[in-house]
Structure 1
Amino acid sequence: MKTFKIVLVITTVLVFASAIYYVEFLYPVKGEYEFLVSKKVPASVVAKSLENGGFIRSSFSFLVLSRITGWDKRIKAGKYKLSRPLPNFRLLYAMVYNGLYMLEYPVTVKEGSTIEDIAKVLSTIEVDTTEFLRLTRDPSFFDYLKRYFPKLDAVETLEGYLYPETYKFYWAEDPRQVIFKMVSQLFAVIPDSFFDRMKEIKFTLNKTLILASIIEKEAQVDFERPLISAVFHNRLRLRRPLESNVTLEYYLKQRRAWLKRSETQLETPYNTYKYPGLPPTPICSPSIKSITAALYPAKVNYLYFVAKGDGTHYFSRTYAEHRLYSMKVRKLFKQRKQSSAEQ
């Protein structure tokens, strides 16, 4: 009786294996197909969807194979593309282990993006943005990154460390991998000579990125980046407040043509009108152009600048000169506003 049961079990397994082999290898998938596997979807739903879409011939054999191998709960979420006949085993293996048939999507992080801006972009490919935002403020995750990037400073946020670039990510990619790629790109674009320069001017990487992020938000044309940097370096040297609108705008989460006087008195470390020195963190992801400008400012004595309204600025050495430029700009701004209202 015991021998009979053993034979029956072996026979049953062989029948299932033969059926799977017959269906999958004699009748493989044909053509080119794309399909989406959503997060936390059971293998049975994946199998049925693949069968209904014509991607596999038998959902039953796919499901049996996934359970025999123990892979039914390990299928990766993402978008997949098949461009040639493929047996269930190879498809299932790829969906669990190597992502060989997963589609990558270009994601552009623009220069000057904040972490919140980046999260919005990542949401278009269903990256878990809640987890992404949490990780950008998680000290234990920073410790993990530090093992791979020893030049990473002790930080309270990864604002400024997620380099602006066009990346290729998988659909619903793990936020840890997304952040790792962006931080890796930052250290890839910063040459070793820049770290020597930081030591020379007594800057840390964090301090460099803070200043670079302010330059990124203030500058609209490349040739002005070193000039804007010079204004801030001169003010830091003289221990004068930076008086930068963009740091307060970061705190207020709103761009302004002009700040109200009451706003320049707000109690926040991002108020560079009230408090001298740099704010506590970067305010965006700066480009390598702004990082370069932060380390190599122009050799000028400017202490002020005001936007003309055309993307460039008036620079001045004295407050009297700066005030004249400011009045000129305000007058021009009012004229444009009035002209616009009359049209």
Structure 2
Amino acid sequence: MRVKKLPLPALLLLLSVTFFGIFLVLIEKKEEVIVHIPKGLTAKEIAKILKKEGIIEDELGFFLLLRIKNAERRLISGWYPMKRGMEPEEVIDILTRGKRVMVPVSIPPGSNLREIAGIVEKALGIDSLEFLELAHDKRFMEECGVYDAPSLEGYIYPETYVFAKGEDARFVLRVMVKRMFEVLDDSIPLRAGEMGLNVHQLLTIASLIEEEAQVDEERPIIASVIYNRLKRGMPLQIDATVQYALPHHKPRLFYKDLRIESPYNTYLHRGLPPGPIASPGIKSIRAAIHPARTDYLYYVSRGDGTHIFTRTAREHINAKRRVKRKWKRGGS
């Protein structure tokens, strides 16, 4: 029987379709996907997810391999970068070693617990309410080395961390608080002790500086105002403490806001608030233990991030008038 030869164009088309199909298969096998393995799943349920995502082809075979390797109970939940069509042994290695998707989590200086909870929820998927509840849990706080504080407010060090996506709230909070204690090396608490302060009071003052200062050069000066007013028994009258006491941040405070009843309202209550109002950075912590030597008791914002510092109430009133006149003229 004689085999009929295909015309050259038809042969080329057939070869093109064949190779294109092989190419698509290879691309599909190499395609990277993010696979979520929730907590509490059985090995069979995990195998089903992997099959659905195209990571493995044989669900039963994968489960049996887990048993042979005694890896059923060693699979770690989380978010994983994987490729379709991977070798089952490689998949098991990833899941047992916890080679998860790593996510940067940036906490800016001056962030409070509510803001941090929102950042963590967006980045890692941790429920913000769960995060906040844990940050106020006394037993957990003591596990982190924090005692006699209302919450972990101010004990989370502001910097960029890298966590596995889906990490639990306990681990994330432990790492962030541990980092603060690493930054507070022996010399800082020692210096605070010489000033008659414990770590909690130090972080409280540092948080006030963090919220009030926008220019680094002014941090030690603002610190001096805080200490000078405390020494004289004057109320601190720091607007940021009122903002902290309010349910939501306001672009501008009114006189009625200054009368809100809260232990954090430093217009109504003398001395320090019960605890920090935000996470202070190292510059504010250093300013708290190395304040400038001044006799300033007041300051008013110029509106450009800097302040006018004054010694008397009359000077303060005059400074406020100058700032008001300046802004009426258009800020020039």
Q: What aligned pairs does 1:312-327 form with structure 2 within 5 A after superposition?
A: 312-327=306-321
Q: Say yes or no: does 1:270 pair with 2:269.
A: no
Deviations 1:51-109 (A, max 9, x none): 344322312222344577786677433221247996435533542x431x212111101
Contact 1:247 1:283 (8 Å CA) reproduced: yes
Letter in 1 for 2:319: Y
Q: Matched residues in 2 for 1:131 and 1:79: separation?
A: 19
Report the counterpart of residue 127 of structure 2 in structure 1.
128
Letter in 2 for 1:59: E
Compared with structure 1, are the counterparts of its residues 298 and 106 closer, same or farther at alpha carbon in structure 2 (3 Å cutoff)? same
- Root-mean-square deviation (CA, aligned residues, Å) is 2.7
Question: In the alignment, which of 212, 217, 224 is matched to residue 218 of structure 2?
Answer: 224
Report the counterpart of residue 11 of structure 1 in structure 2.
none
Q: Matched residues in 2 for 1:76 and 1:130: separation?
A: 24
Question: In the alignment, which of 108, 111, 115 is matched to residue 109 of structure 2?
Answer: 111
Letter in 2 for 1:78: G
Compared with structure 1, are the counterparts of its residues 323 and 275 closer, same or farther at alpha carbon in structure 2 (3 Å cutoff)? same
Q: Matched residues in 1 for 2:75 and 2:327: separation?
A: 58
Report the counterpart of residue 301 of structure 2 in structure 1.
307
SS in 2 for 1:272: coil
Report the counterpart of residue 331 of structure 1 in structure 2.
325
Report the counterpart of residue 188 of structure 1 in structure 2.
182
Q: Say yes or no: does 1:80 pair with 2:64.
A: no
Compared with structure 1, are the counterparts of its residues 254 and 53 closer, same or farther at alpha carbon in structure 2 (3 Å cutoff)? closer
Q: Matched residues in 2 for 1:105 and 1:93: separation?
A: 21
Contact 2:110 2:278 (8 Å CA) reproduced: yes
Q: Say yes or no: does 1:252 pair with 2:251.
A: no
Deviations 1:238-289 (A, max 9, x none): 1110010000001114444653222222221111111110110111100010
Compared with structure 1, are the counterparts of its residues 84 and 56 closer, same or farther at alpha carbon in structure 2 (3 Å cutoff)? closer
Contact 1:32 1:81 (8 Å CA) reproduced: no
Q: Matched residues in 2 for 1:168 and 1:318: separation?
A: 48
Q: TM-score, normalised by structure 1?
A: 0.80
Deviations 1:88-146 (A, max 9, x none): 35533542x431x2121111011111111111111122123332111100111122222
Letter in 2 for 1:144: E
Letter in 1 for 2:116: I
Report the counterpart of residue 162 of structure 2 in structure 1.
168
Q: What aligned pairs does 1:1-150 form with structure 2 within 5 A after superposition?
A: 31=30, 33-40=32-39, 43-66=43-66, 75-82=75-82, 87-89=87-89, 91-92=91-92, 94-95=94-95, 97-99=96-98, 101-124=99-122, 125-146=124-145
Report the counterpart of residue 23 of structure 2 in structure 1.
none
Q: Matched residues in 1 for 2:267 and 2:112: separation?
A: 22
Contact 2:211 2:240 (8 Å CA) reproduced: yes
Q: Matched residues in 2 for 1:288 and 1:258: separation?
A: 28
Contact 1:37 1:76 (8 Å CA) reproduced: no
Contact 1:129 1:175 (8 Å CA) reproduced: no
Contact 1:302 1:315 (8 Å CA) reproduced: yes
Letter in 2 for 1:316: T
Deviations 1:288-340 (A, max 9, x none): 10011111110011000010000100000011010011122233344549x9x
Aligned length: 303
| Identical-pair percentage | 38
Letter in 2 for 1:172: G
Contact 2:228 2:297 (8 Å CA) reproduced: yes
Contact 1:164 1:286 (8 Å CA) reproduced: yes
Report the counterpart of residue 9 of structure 1 in structure 2.
none
Letter in 2 for 1:314: I
Q: Matched residues in 1 for 2:185 and 2:143: separation?
A: 23
Q: TM-score, normalised by structure 2?
A: 0.82
Q: Say yes or no: does 1:291 pair with 2:285.
A: yes
Q: Matched residues in 1 for 2:90 and 2:251: separation?
A: 58
Q: Matched residues in 1 for 2:168 and 2:128: separation?
A: 10
SS in 2 for 1:259: coil
Q: What aligned pairs does 1:205-220 form with structure 2 within 5 A after superposition?
A: 205-220=199-214
Contact 2:153 2:278 (8 Å CA) reproduced: yes
